[in-house]
Structures are given as C-alpha cells and as structure tokens.
Structure 1
Amino acid sequence: MNRIYIVALLLISRLSVFAQASEEVTGVVKANEKGKNIELVGANVYWADTQIGTVTDFKGEFVIDRYGSNTQLVVSYIGYETDTIDISNNRFVEVVLQSDELDEVLVAGKKAGSHMSRMDPMTKVNITGAELCKAACCNLSESFETNASVDVSYSDAATGAKQIQLLGLSGNYVQMMTENIPNFRGLATLYGLNYIPGAWMESIQISKGTSTVVNGYESLTGQINVEYKKPVDSERFFLNMYANHTGRWESNVNGSIHINDKWTTAVLAHYSEDQKSTDENDDGFRDEPLLKQVNFINRWDYNNKKGFTSQIGIKVLDENRLGGQMGFTGSRPDDQNIGSAGQLYGINIDTRRYEGFYKAGYMFDDDITSVALVANYSFHEQNSFYGRKQYDASQKSFYANLIFQSIIGNESNKFSTGLSVQADEFDEQLWMNFMAPDTRQWLNRNEFVPGAYFQYTYTLPEHLTIIAGGRVDYHNEFGTMLTPRLHIKYNLTPNTIIRASAGKGYRTPNVLAENSYLLASSRQINITDNIDQEEAWNYGANITQYIDIAGRELTLNAEYYRTDFENQLVVDADQSVNAVYFYNLDGRSYANNFQVEGKYELLRGLDVVAAWRLNDVKTTYNGELMDRPLISRAKGLVNLSYSTPLKKWQFDFTTQFNGEGRIPSTLSNPEEYRRAESFGAYQVVNAQVTKYFRKWNVYIGAENLGDFKQDNPIIAGSDPFGEHFDSSLIWGPVMGRRFYFGLRFSIDRE
C-alpha cells in the first residue's frame, strides 16, 4: 500500500517536477574509522520521504538530480548511523558517517568488489581495486578470474597467448580501451592483456553490447576500459612483489608526487620474469614460455582550478617470449643446424612498444558545457619465429577525438558531438620457411578513417534515460560507414531496472596479427584475396532487481544479447588438418548469450556471487552452419569472499564451471594424432588468503587447485617439423596447479 501511495503521489506531481530545470547534486560518502575517513561503496543516498535515490560508486561518490523543493538528503549504510542533511543550495556535499557499534565489529570500509551502476543506461560492470585484490592479478588477463562476464583462455599451447571472450565471442570483437582511448589493436591484440600490470589498475569497466558512438565504430560485442592509477589520488608510494612456485616473479613500483596545487606526476614501473622451464604433461614442450617484460609509464596532470585540465604521458614496453621444446635456448633459426636429428623446435617473440598520449579539457562557467581533446600515438614492433616460420611486423597508430558536450534547454536534454580520426600503418612479412625466400608474403596496408558523430541523451529523472547516437566514418579502403546506436534504461520501480540496447559495429580484421598463434603448427596459411571489413548488429536487454533481505541487498540480474554478422572473417580449421583458411563469411554467423547472476552478503562479511551463462555461437564453415570451435556452451561461476571484522583477514574462493564444446575434426590424421570431436565439462578452482596490516598486506594463493589440464594439448609434439604438428586446438588449461605468494606495501596520501 505504501508503494502504491507513493507512486500515486509521483504521478500527481509529475507535471510540476518535470517543469523544473534539472540540477544535479554530487557528493562523496565516507566513514570514520579510528579517526581515518574511508570512502563507502554502495552507500544509499535518497531524498527524504521518497524512494528516489542512488548508491555511491567505487570511489564513494554519487550523483543525484534534485527532486522538486526537497532539500533533505538521507545517507545510510549498514553498520553506521543514518544521517539526514539539508543541502539547500549546495551542489556538492561530503558526508562522514559514524559507526553505530561500540566495538566497530562491522563491514566498515569494505569496498564492493564489482557492481553495476544503477544510474548508467548501459549494462556496465565496474571492477574495483578491491575486486582486483581477490586474486593474484599479475596483469589484465588475470583480472577477470572472479568475474562472470568475461572468460580468459589460452589460444595455443606454445606461445602463452591469451584471449578473452565476451558474449560468447573472442576478444577481437571487444573494443579495448585505456582511459577511454582505443588501444591494443592489431599487433597488440594477442598479447595486449599482458601489457597492463594489475598493480597499475585503479578500476575496469566492462560494457556489454554495443557502446556509445563517442569512442568509435569498432565495438561489436562490448567494451573494456581500464583506468590507470591517477597522480592526484593514488598512493604516494606503492610496492607489489609476487612469485610462484614455477619460477615466475614480478615487481611493481608506483609513486606519485604533488608538485604544487596545479601539477602532479606519477611513475608506474614493472618488471617480470619466468626463470624456470616446466613440462608437467611430458610432451617435450614448455607449458608456458619463458618471459621477460619491462614496462613503464610516466604521466603528468595539470589543473589550473579555473576549468582547464590536461594530462600528458609516455609508455614504454619491452617483452621477450621464449617457447617451444625444452632445452631450446632462443637461437635464431638461421643459426641452427637445419635438418639435423637433434634440432629443437623453438618460438621467440620479441616485442617493443612505445606510446604517447595527451588529454585536455575545459569546463565552461555554467559547469555544464565542456570541450575536450584526446590523442594517442603508438608504435609497435614484433619480430618472431615459430620453428621455420618467421613473422616480422610493425604498426604505427594515431588516434584523436575532439568532443563537445552541452545541453539543449535544460539538463534533461544533453548532447555530445565531435570529430575523430584513426590512422594505422601496418608492415607485415611472413616466411612459411625462412630458408626459402620465395615463401615470403607481404601484408602491408594503410588505413585512414576520419569521422563525425552526434549523441543525444534524454533523462526523465529517476525513471527513464535514452541515449541515441550515430556516427559517419569514411574508410580509405571500404568507403562510408554509418553507425547507429541506441541505449534505453527504465526504472520500473526504484529497485527494478530494465535496460536495452541495439546498434551496429565495424572492424577491419588483422588476419595474421590476430591469429599469429596458428603459426605454431604445420598448417599452411591460406588467405583469400580481398578480405572485407567485418560488420555486425548487436542487440539485447537485461533486468536488474534489488531486494532487501535481512537488512542486506540481494542483486539479481538476467540478460540476453545477440550478435548477428553481416560479414565476418572466418577462420576455418575444419576443411583440412594440414591448413587453415581465412575467407569472408558466406552464410550465417551469430552468437546468442543468456546469463543470470546473483550477489548477496550472506553473512556479515561474507559476499557470495553466483552466475550461469549459456552460449549459442554458430558460423558457416565451407557451406555448413556449425558451432564455433573451442568455446564452452555453458559457463558457471561461484565466488565467495569473506572479510573478518576490521578487515584483518580476507579469504577468497572462486569456482569456474566450463561446459562442453566442439573441436575441429582431426579424423584425417593418423590414428595416434587424432583427437575427439568434442571436449567435456571441467572445473577450475582458485583460492587466496590475504592478511592486512596497517600499511601493507601479504597474500598466498593457488590457481587451478584441482590440477586440471587438457590431455595431450599438442598434436605430434614429438615431430614438430612434421606435417601433423599442431598446438592450436586448445579448449582448457594447459598448466596445472600454481601456488603463489605476494606482498603489497603502500604509503597512502592524506
């Protein structure tokens, strides 16, 4: 009855409220714990005597539209005294809640690991620093172990390349971003997940479905954006050390300096190395490559306190991967005694990458209108060989985006418009046999894509948000591209939210750069002429329900997405066991993805996340519609995270369930080199224990506790220069149980 009464009042007052100009109130909610203020994630903020409100994000911050003449804002959080404040004409407020328990045995200051924003019209999952600490998280590829939306797996058993999957499709169709700059495209696709150390990341945002048009046309299934630690609010000093029992160790050192009230700078440095060769499955090949990586960022931030801000920075990376048979030392192929009985099959991938970025923005006096420029340049060079195959490539990329944002009449009608340009220069050379110069293939190309876009956002406070946008881009090879996209969010009730999206995306496939792991096989590479641009529609919807149970909030989410390809690069390993064919789609290709997920604090300090996903992914191969290979048709996840009072200890446990899937046919191989045409379900378990001290913490953990490994992942490993060698049919873990230890030390800013 109370809800019906409130809805009736809202309907009666709608006209008067709608007539008023919308004005946002922003703020931050903190908790006082032993004299120190800690940001509270997930605190409730709502207008007094209403159900109209929001929750704080991973920084404890919130944004809420004013509601009529109501000036009483209520802030509450379990374990703290509820506070009601009169905001009057304030636009920004800082609220510090006090504990309502004398002994402070509560979930004080415990930050939500990941959450979905109630305000964002897109289906966006925010992974916070707290979530990243639940696992070893040496780099971006390992940061999704406790996440139900993104899968990470090895793409082959020899190079250590990892691929993500979102909505049942590979990471090629996900737009990778670093601080809203498209990044890790082309040559960096396969190994880019390893280029961002976990200790550098402030947060990760995962957007499912098509993204907005502001960041470009390339998002087909979603977008992953990484936010680095910022000089303004990151630790003064941070040290992270990690080592595992197989000989991998790494060190991360971060530091930030506030030079004055306008200038800040930060340095992020990383070094990692794998020192020990392991072969737990006794196939004669290293289970993972020996790797050395040096990684560095220096960035500067400027804020004149009068509306202008800017950032500038450089990134440098040097990485070497050494894989192949045990005992291989990394000699170049032309230095080996080709044809000798004792010749070892080796893989060496030597990479150098340099980046420079610049951002500038100006906020006009109305605090509504703004203009910004984002620019990034990268140079990526990779020299590699796989047995007798040699692949050398370089890529130069430039990206710029000029963005203008303002309103039309009032803040319920916002728009963004701008101009962008993406330019890429690829220089690729492939020798199928480096001893035979006539096997060399050139795959050089230049791309230049200028574009313009407009995006309109309509907001009916606390009820409806619509984002409609379109962009026009001109590709120097493929012509004009039109990209329409639409997002809708509707609040059925304050605790029931429906979202829907639809849109189109394009991308230029990089045949060798994105599939170079296939060179670690004896398969011939057959690429058809005139590879077209990939083009797909994506549409879907989700519903999120928040339910209060025993003073704690249960979050339930159900979603469905479909991706329909109008054109696609088909990677066909089914026609022949001795070749892989790349050609344009001739037929249907689609992906259906359905997922349900629940989150709840079952007991004080014990968070539970459970999810289940079904994948229906099919592509036409050589005229036949078939399941895409090496993808599990079902996926489940259970994550338990328990923190003791005052967060002195934390225990994290994750179980990943992976369903069965299809394997490309190997029936034409000799019997000893054949594999089953499908793989069965399997389970992977990870666990970690963390002990917290005042300025530092130590953690120990294990990955793949059950020691599950794919049987015989390499075909014909005893004859790697023969015609049947293949390391690319990977559907499960190739490495067994891993124990690790680490420590983190930080000197926080006041």
Structure 2
Amino acid sequence: MKTKLFSVALLFILSFFSTGVMSQTVKGKVYGVIGESKEFIDGATVVFTGTNIGTLTDEKGFFELENTDNYKSITVSMIGYESDTIEITSGKLIFVHLRSNLTTEQIEVEENRNSKFTGKEIIPTESLTLGEFKKAPSCDLAGCFGSSVTVESKTTDAIFKLKELKILGLDGQYSQILFDGIPIFSGLNAKYGMGSIPGSMLAAINISKGTNSVLQGAESMSGIINVIPRDFNSSEKVFLNLYMNDMLERQINLNTAHKFENWSTILSGHLTGEAMRMDYNRDGFLDAPLVYRNMIYNKWTYDSPAGNFKFELAGKYNSETKTGGEQSFNESSDKWSDDVYGQVIDFKIYDLYSKAGRTFENGDEIKFFAGFSRHDNNSYLGTLEYIATQNIFWTSGFYSWKINSDAKLNSGLSYRFDHLTENITMSESKIRSLLPKYENKEHFPGIFSELDYTNILKNLSLLAGVRVDFHNQYGTVVTPRGLLRYQLAENTLLRGSLGTAFRVPKVLIENMNVLSGSKDLLIANNLNPDKLVNFGITLTQDIKFDFIDGTLNLDFYRSDFSSRVISIYDREPGKVFVENLEGNSYSNVFQAEINVQTPLNFSFTGAYKFTDFILDHKGIKKNEPYVPKHQLVATISYATDENDFLVDLTTNWFGKRPLPSTKFNPPKYQFADFSEPYAVVNLQATKVWEMLEIYAGLENIFDVEQKNPIIAADDPFGPYFDTSFVYGPTTGREFYVGIRYKILR
C-alpha cells in the first residue's frame, strides 16, 4: 500500500510541475571538428577550470554543471582533441568546438592525473576515466576499482578466482552492470564475463550508489556500474598494450579507430595466454587458474551531417577456457576420476546492441535501445558438470519532452526477456540434492515516466520517476524512485534519494562457489524475488585553499529488504540451504572520501567506509558473512611537470570480516568466526614518451595472503572440501611489466 501511495505521489509530481525558475546551471554541447566536418563528442571531460569538479558529456555532446560557486570558466578535454577553456556567460548555452591537431598528423593526448571525480548532478556519480585505469594494469573490469571505496572487487572462490563487484556491502548480484548503457550484463555474464572487458578498451566507468533512474529497469538494488567502452572519439588511431606478470601470464590488447565521412568505427581485441603452473603456498592446488581468453569488439557510429540524428551498432564476442585444481590435473585423463581433483570452465559470450536518437528543433528527443546477449557455458567442477545457456534480450524506447529550459519529461516503454537453461550431471560418488535440469523463462514488458527538473525551486532540483513492469511469474511490479538536489551553501551540496528495486535471483549461478565444493545445495520451493527500499543522502563540500583544491564527500545509505533469497551455510554439516528470508535484512553504510590536488604534482585520495549489514532470519540475528565493518582506501599519485614519469601508490585496508561457522568440521578444518584485518599495497611506475609508455608494478607488495583459502585441500573428494571460504587475497606478491604503444591521429 505504501509503495502504491508513493507511486501516485510521484505521478502527481510529474504532471504538476511545468514552470521554471532562474537557473544556476551551466549547460552546453561539445563538438569535435576534424577538417571541415563536425560531430558531437560523447564522453568529453568538462570541469570548472582549476578544479576536479566536473562531468562527462552524453551521446549528444550535452553537459550540465551546477555553478553555485560562481566559477568563471570551464575546461573541456577529450583524447584525440586539443583541450579548450571557455568563459561562462550567464544564461546562455555554451557551444564548445574541440579541434583535432592534424597539422603534424598527430594528436597530443594529455590525461588528467586526478582522473577520478564525483560529479554534481542530481544522481551522485563517481567517474573513473582513462588516467585512472592506467594507475594499475587494469587487466579486466574487476581490476579497475583498486582506488575506489565505493566498489569492492571481491574474490568468491579459491580455484578460479572469480570476482564480484559489491556496492554498499551487498553482494555482486545486487549491483546492476550496464555495458554502454545497455542492461544485458547479468546472470552468467556477470559471474564469468569480467575478463571479457579488458581495461584497455574502456573510456570511463560511471558508478552511482543506491537509487537511480527508472529508465534502465527495476533491477539496480545497490547501485549501477555503467561501463563505457572507447569509441572513435576516445581512442588513438592505434593503441597496443602488452602485459606479462611473474607467473608468465601474457596479455595483448589492441584498439584501432577510423572515420569514414559520417561513419566512425573502433575495433578492439584482447588475448590472454596461460600462465605457468605455480603452487607457492604448497597446498597442492594451482595458485592461479590457467586462462586462455580471446575477445573482439567492434562498434560503428553514424552522425548525421545536421547533427540531429545518431545511430550506433556494436558487437562483442568472447571465448574463454579456465583450468584449475590440483597442480597435476589433466582434463583429458583426470576428468571424472577420484584420483586428481580439477575444474574446467569453457564458455562463449555473444553480445549485440544498438542505439538510435533523434533531436528535434524544439529540443524534444526520441531514443531507442536494443541489446541481445547469449552465453554458452560448459563447466566441470570436480564431481559435477554444469552446462548452461542464457539468452537475454532487452529493448527500450522513450520520448523526451522539453517542458522548459530546465525541465524535461521522459516517458516510454521497455521489454526484457531472459531465458536460462541449466543442466546438472553428478558423479556417482557424489550425489547431491539437485535436479538434472533447471529452466526459467522471464519476460516482462514495462512502462515508465520520469521528470528531470533542474531548478524546481531556488537551489532545488528534482528527478522523480515511476515504472510499472508486468512480470510473467510475479505479476505487476511498481518501482517508484525520487532524487533531490539542494545547494545548502556556496560550496556545500546536499543530495538525497529514495526508491525501490526488484530482481529475480539466479540461484545456481549465485551459489556456484558452493557447487565447486563438496557441500550439498538444498533449494527451497517457491522462492520469492528480491525486493528492497533504498534511502540515501550525500553531502559534498568543496575544499578551496591557495595551494590545494579538493572535494569532500560524505554518504549514508540504508537498504531494507522486504523480500530476499538467502543462503544458510552453518545450519547442518555439509549442507547449504537456499530459502526465503523469514525476518528482516538491512544494511547501513557510511562513506567519507576526500580528493585533493596540490601544486607539487601530487594528488591524494583517501576514503573510509563503515558497513553494518544485518541478517535476522527465523529469530537468529547475525552479521552478513564476508562483509567487513571497516574499510580504508588511500591513493597517492605523482607526476613530473612534463607528465613523462608517473608513480601511483594504492593501499586497501579491510577490517575483520564475519565468517560462516565451521563448527561442524573436524578441528583441523575449523576457523575463527572473524578474519584478521589486512592491507594490500600496490605500486606502479610509468615512463612516458610521445608514442610509447613502459610501466612496471608490484601488486600486494607485502605478500599478504589468506592461509588455507581451500578448506580440506588435502582431501578434495572428502566431505569437508570447500572452495568458497574466501575472505582475503588468494595470491601473494605479483610483479608485472607492460608496454603501451600508440599511433596518434
């Protein structure tokens, strides 16, 4: 009833407000000029001159910034174009024209060393850009968040080192991952596909916590991670990145971009070669899986000569094989044997998506999106074979009415189809309580409307929306969401959000680390979908002194589950129970982050996060497993005046994590109820020339490693074998070197 009343209130707001007030917003469009042609630039960085306060342009080159601090100018930059500084003229739309430097057939590329910033839009969004990805090898998507306290990249199993991206302390399945704004990266893709997105192909990652826009669906429970791949405007003509670590894992990344009149394209490729078989901790198991991976991505973009129509078509293919287990495991001879334990994952991902948008003379817009993803997975997990196929199709279209210079109303339709088929074959020596086949088809059309009002009252902005989806299994799902932005003082900004979310769990995928061990997985009948209400408040304070410039962000978010599917690890020996929550579950998260730039060529980022995640089920109240209450992140970066030598030092400290009880195990396989605190320190140095960069680094300098990440590694076919008991680093110190080579346009 409360949800419906909230929805009615939001719809009333959408229809009521239609008049504007004086705006303090700087708005404009950024164009790229190559010869005599001109096109919108998507992903250009726009900041107030001399600060790190800024945003990125959208696919139409549009940007907007709140100028309550009375800045006099903005600086606009984009890889492949000359940067420009423009004076702010009150009340006028700013048109920025960035020119390619073609006089020497080269383009000078300068990257801001403070390449992580939180914009001042109504949705608090942390943006990681090209310079941030270069502060670490960023071998894949999961490796891009080393300096971010907002996203924790956590290992979930000790054999394949699969990772999840956690926001607000909630597990990775509660985070919605978008690829180029398209929500098809979920299920099997989110579990296994992190490696299919190498850091070298990315232009930016935008992270928003808590409640978000209703345009992409109802599934974003803890937040959204929008992964923006490079396109022609954000890439050199040729970019090559070669990488190798001390385990002799080799990676090759290649981007090439070209333009043909009104069409432009980028082609990205990635190849990973297997590492050596290593067992430094002498538990008999490989320290890292043997990985062979290849990926190819191609995107075509059409910009009309008039600049009022844009079309994009892109496809991505990924093939990957991972082998892990005991050091002597050989798939051809040891599969299904009870002598040598091993695991093999072989999967392929096919992605295709398109976007189209038209802008009319009165400022109205119409946009269409469509995406398809197919994932074929064949996994052998020691005593079990898992063969799965998932097909996802999503499409959406909406019309954007320009009410006045500060307000627009977006209304449209969407449709999502998700078909997952999972087949289980079990070893005769290890029979579990699983069915031989699971199949689930979801299809749910939806309708949505959202009001975006920049200055509804003086210093107050509103984003309010509601969507109604019609799920074939769970009926009508109403998702109301609202966000407010208020300028408290000249340098102080307050933002708040409130909304609901809905998702259908993928039980086997989300418990794959349990299937990798010996425990039985008992799945209750009639599982409910996950539902929650999320509330958040963010305070942003600009820091301004004569010699430093920075930003302080303070966040508090609360997530309350009204329905949740949970996994119980410690009710009975050798069993994991998956069932509906009977009670309540909530998380309270406080986060503080400061970003500072100094005139001494140093930049500093420091952050602290407190998480209180409680599970109260059937009268038993406890902390959510593996979620630390305290986390600290600090990054110090140095660059010479010429930006030809760079050093980055990053420290991640994690407090104690509550662990599942091991009281049913024999004494030698029992562990404490909490892990010990630990810190991981990474260092990288980069030497830069005009067309060449050489980098080298150490990850986990002090060789911090979890002891016994595999329980009962000495008895892998026994009843206590468990690969899911992972709370810390599962590999020790790692040295790597790499080369980046670029041919400039």
1:106-185 matches, cutoff 5 A: 110-118=112-120, 120-185=121-186
For 2:207, what is the secondary structure of its paired residue?
A: strand
Q: Structure 1 residue 184: deviation in Å?
A: 2.0
Q: Tell whether 2:437 aligns with 1:442.
A: yes
Q: Give, in whole Å, the separation in 1 of the partners of 2:158 and 2:505.
A: 23
Contact 1:502/1:537 (8 A) holds in 2: yes
In structure 2, give the amino acid aligned to 1:642.
Y
Matched, 1:317 2:318: yes
Where 1:646 maps in the other structure, the secondary structure is coil
Q: Which residue of structure 1 aligns with residue 465 of structure 2?
A: 469
Q: Which residue among 81, 92, 105 is the counterpart of 2:95?
A: 92
Higher mean C-alpha deviation, range 299-308 or range 732-741 = 299-308
> Which amino acid is the alignment partner of residue 113 of structure 1?
S
User: Would the aligned equivalents of 2:177 and 2:185 in 1 still touch at CA under 8 Å?
Assistant: yes
SS at match of 1:276: coil
Tell whether 2:682 aligns with 1:686: yes
How many residues of Structure 1 are paired with residues of Structure 2 in the alignment? 696
Kindly indicate whether the alpha-carbon contact (under 8 Å) linking 1:432 and 1:440 is maintained by their aligned counterparts in 2. no
Is the 8 Å Cα contact of residues 416 and 455 (structure 1) preserved in structure 2? yes
* Gap regions ≥5 residues in structure 2: 1-18, 33-42, 77-82, 100-108
Find the counterpart in structure 2 of residue 26 from structure 1. 28
Displacement after TM superposition at 1:72 (Å): 11
1:192 is matched with which residue?
193
CA offset digits 1:246-295 (Å, max 9, x no partner): 121100111111112x1111111000123212212111111221111110
Q: Give the 3 Å change call, closer, same or farther, for CA 678–64 of structure 1 in structure 2.
A: closer
Deviation of 1:190 after TM superposition, in Å, equals 1.6
Task: State how 1:287-686 maps to structure 2 within 5 Å.
Answer: 287-306=287-306, 307-331=308-332, 336=336, 338-339=337-338, 343-366=339-362, 368-408=363-403, 410-433=404-427, 440-460=435-455, 463-621=459-617, 623-686=619-682
Contact 2:530 2:563 in 1 (8 A): yes
Q: Which amino acid aligns with 1:424?
A: D
Deviation track 1:222-255 (CA, whole Å, cap 9, x = no partner) reads 0000100012442111100000001211001111
Kept in 1, the 8 Å contact 2:390–2:418? The answer is yes
* Letter paired with 2:95: F
Deviations 1:317-340 (CA, angstroms, capped at 9, x unpaired): 10011011111122376x55x34x
Distance in 2 of aligned mates of 1:726 and 1:186? 23
The alpha-carbon distance between structure 1 residues 359 and 86, as it changes in their structure 2 partners (threshold 3 A), is closer
User: Retained in 1: the 8 A contact 2:54–2:117?
Assistant: no
Residue identity matched to 1:531: L
Instruction: Please say if residues 524 and 578 of structure 2, whose CA atoms lie closer than 8 Å, have aligned partners that are also in contact.
Output: yes
Superposition deviation, residue 723 in structure 1: 0.7
The 8 Å contact of residues 182 and 215 in structure 1, kept in 2 or not, is answered as yes
Among 701, 705, 711, the alignment partner of 1:705 is 701
Tell me, in whole angstroms, the C-alpha distance in 2 between the residues paired with 1:88 and 1:608: 35
Q: Using the alignment, how far apart are the partners of 2:152 and 2:190 within structure 1?
A: 15
Q: Give, as a single letter, the amino acid of the residue that structure 2 aligns with 1:190.
A: K
Alpha-carbon distance between aligned partners in 1 of 2:503 and 2:87, rounded to the nearest angstrom: 51
Is the 1:592–1:616 contact (alpha carbons within 8 Å) kept by the matching residues of 2?
A: yes
Rounded to whole Å, the distance in 1 between the matches of 2:624 and 2:305 is 53
Distance 1:55 1:560, change over 3 A: closer
Distance 2:112 2:177 in 1: 29
Rate the CA distance shift 1:546–1:62 in 2: closer, same or farther, 3 A: farther
Q: 1:434 to 1:198 in 2, by over 3 A?
A: farther
Question: Is structure 2 residue 263 aligned with structure 1 residue 263?
Answer: yes
Residues in 2 aligned to 1:67 and 1:427: alpha-carbon distance in whole angstroms: 52
- Note closer, same or farther for the CA distance 1:283–1:89 as it changes in structure 2 (3 Å cut): closer
Residue 511 of structure 1: CA displacement? 0.3
Q: Distance in 2 between matches of 1:426 and 1:88?
A: 52
Q: How far apart, CA to CA, are the structure 2 residues paired with 1:122 and 1:146?
A: 21
* Residues 83 and 450 (structure 1), Cα distance of their counterparts in 2 relative to 1, 3 Å cut: closer
SS at match of 1:302: strand
Instruction: Tell me what 1:104 maps to.
Output: none
Q: Which residue of 2 is the match for residue 44 of structure 1?
A: 48
In structure 2, relative to structure 1, the CA distance for the partners of 1:242 and 1:58 (3 Å cut) is farther
Cα gap change, 1:82/1:315 in structure 2, threshold over 3 Å: closer, same or farther? closer
Q: CA deviation at 1:714?
A: 1.1
Amino acid at match of 1:421: Y
Q: Matched residues in 1 for 2:694 and 2:642: separation?
A: 16
In structure 2, the CA distance between the partners of 1:519 and 1:485, relative to structure 1 (3 Å rule), is same
CA separation in 1, counterparts of 2:639 and 2:652? 21
Q: Check conservation: 1:239, 1:746, Cα contact below 8 A.
A: yes
TM-superposed CA distance for 1:397, in Å, is 0.9
Partner of 2:12: none
Offset at residue 94 of structure 1 (A): 4.5
Deviation at residue 436 of structure 1 after TM alignment: 8.2
Deviation at 1:707? 0.2
CA 1:331–1:286: 2 relative to 1, 3 Å: same
Quote the Cα distance in structure 2 between the aligned partners of 1:624 and 1:434. 36
2 CA distance for matches of 1:160 and 1:72?
47
Give the distance between the partners of 1:434 and 1:451, measured in 2 at CA: 45
Query: 1:29–1:56: 8 Å Cα contact kept in structure 2?
Result: no
**What amino acid sits opposite 2:348 in the alignment?**
R
Say if 1:689 and 1:59 are closer, same or farther in 2 by CA, change over 3 A: farther
Q: Does 1:277 align with 2:271?
A: no
Shift of 1:75: 4.8
Larger radius of gyration: 1
Q: 1:303 to 1:94 in 2, by over 3 A?
A: closer
Q: How far off is 1:437 after superposition?
A: 9.1
> Structure 2 length as normaliser, TM-score?
0.88
1:66 Cα deviation (Å)? 11
| CA displacement 1:544-592 (0-9 Å, x = unmatched) | 0002112431211111001100111101111134011100110110111
Between 670-679 and 459-468, report the one with greater CA deviation: 459-468
CA distance in 2, matches of 1:184, 1:65: 30
Could you say what the CA RMSD is over the residues aligned between the two structures, in angstroms?
2.9
